[in-house]
A and B are shown apart, each in its own frame.
Chain A
Amino acid sequence: MADLIPFLQNIANGLLIGGVYALIGVGLTLIFGVMRTINFAHGEFVVLGMYAAIVFNQALGWDPYFSLVVALPVGFLAGVLIQRVILATIVDAPEESSLLATLGLSLIIANSLLLIFGGEPKSVLVPYASSTISLGGGVNLSIVLLLAGIATVVAIGGLHLLLNRTEIGRAIRGTAENRLGAELVGINTKRIHAVVFGIGMMLAVAAGVALIPLLFASPTTTGTVFTLKAFVVTVLGGLGNIGAAIGGGLLLGVVEVLGASYLTSEYRDAYGLVAFILVLLFRPEGLFGRSVQRV
């Protein structure tokens, strides 16, 4: 029994962290599923969310979660703008072009942040940073992690409703299924691409805001870490599959936390990468199910 409580604690923490990974992965996989774009700047979008929370916290004293009110719409608009200005012009170019374009974008974002804010890692200190809620039996949940988990559930639930209950959601799913077919039935796929990239960026920004009380953000390294995690999450689940990205995110969170406490924490980031290569090689359609095309 003594071993069980820390184990349950780890599982709970892993699931909550994994929820945020899922939030990042869902955006990446949605963008890939609809646009066939591998978004290398996704981690940088997360970092933009973190810095938005930091700026609002330092300048206006806002709680990081309150800054979502501004960060989400701005994130959506920025995503639409990026898609319209950059990605829309290379929509028919080879897949590598969009990879290189978003790689360039990630360098621009990271280095602009470095120029503006300097290189030292930053974070937001919230008064409830070390508060916990007891679940009974010695398992405690940190409030910050719990809030991050709630934000994840709300965001993914909202996305689910949008995709399955609204007209634009139907258009998004149609575009993902078959772009030409969607155009034939009168869907403006250019607009859908822009909306989807906006949603993806918005989710990444939300994840960044949810994470900032937990860690330090540094302009040039944090983005890469999260881009890699997002790739791991989506490939674990199969690129383009939203449900699977959620599963992949939760799995990565749990694997990281368990691996770090029972094996060795030095290789915390390597577990995901090894799983990533193995899945790419042996189950390119992902761990869950076969469909790669669907959203």
Chain B
Amino acid sequence: MKEMKGVAPVAIAVVIIVAAIAAVAAYVYLKPEEEVSPGEVELKFWNYWDGTNAQAIVALISEFEAENPNIHITNVPITWGELLPKLMATVAGGEVPEIAIGDLVWMSKLAGTGLLVPLSEFDDFEEIDYEDFYPEMRKIGRYNDKSYSLPVSANNLELFYNKEIFEANGLDPEDPPTTWDELLEIAQVCTDPDEGIWGMELYTGTGEGLTWQFQVYLWQAGGEFLSADLSSAAFNSPEGKRALQFWVDLIQTHEVSPPGPWGFFGQGKAAMVMDGTWMVGGWRPGGWAPITWDWGTAQMPIPSGGEPATNMGGEQIFIFETTSEKEAAAWEFVKWLTSKETQVKWDILTCFMPVRDSVAEDSLYLTWATTTEPRLVPFIECQQYAHARPMVVQYPEISDAFSEELQKALYGVVSVDEALASAEARVNEILAD
């Protein structure tokens, strides 16, 4: 090989490095401009709706585009677990979607970041009939007395039961339990260790799955999760102990509930489970996880002297600060999607719960629910008892810590009192940080 002499090699090295940097810079700054005719706006919409919900949103977007020919919306489906990390990456990179949805528990953080457009500052905000949204949902996405998001979909947790297991054990399949005592009784009757069938499935894994299920029992018993000023834990109370004792009884004392992986009900291995509205859409024939045996739904059984309660899940929609033109176009879409007329269509397509009073009372919607999918009725009736999870930025960390401490009682490692006391200590420490 002929050896290179002089400054040439160094020069070539410099050229290569400069070229590499230039290529990256060119990619970042000189990306071909999207071909947009004057007056037309391109928007990206990030959401984690999948299956039939994804088909529904795509159909609605086309409908909106037909009515608003100047606005083009690209639907970007991302999984639930990926959406927030991806959002963080794009925020750091300076390139955000114009519109996105978020889980309710993310909103306390997102609203305060200064990245979102305060929706209540739009001139025509009054026209959307804001008071028609359920009050618990209006609390979400509020920051400094401004609304940064609007409710777009909702769900809650109620009881699902396997009618065939009920019948096989001589129980009336049209008579689901209404109290905790009845739930325990039926669970005992249905449990069959030889067949691997459990009476009642509880969520015992680490994380929000456990926490948000347990909160239903806590609220039913009359307890609260955090103090009213959101500064400390409130679950270490007689009500909290009663709720946790009930879970420990189901798992440890009576062995009618399995500690462990989730999914027994869907495999036909559990007689009852508390699960979300979306599973009506999933488990029904033609759903995304159809099951062949007969099943029903009912309002969650309540403890004696307790009160009906459920946990409110769902999504809120929000707009990122970009240009005023894009923000205005995004606002048109958000208004349209959250309007009563669109929401009726959306809820019928997806089995989501109404977010507006007027939808829940709409005759078209009610006729559809009672005739086409009556198993949704307990969910619709109980949406009024849905509690919102506390709006604190530390909520995800609190939820994980809470679930880790409660697991110790569910696995029989510590007592109910000890588990709640250590959970209280950890939650208070996180809140004080």
Q: Judge: A and B partners, yes or no.
A: no
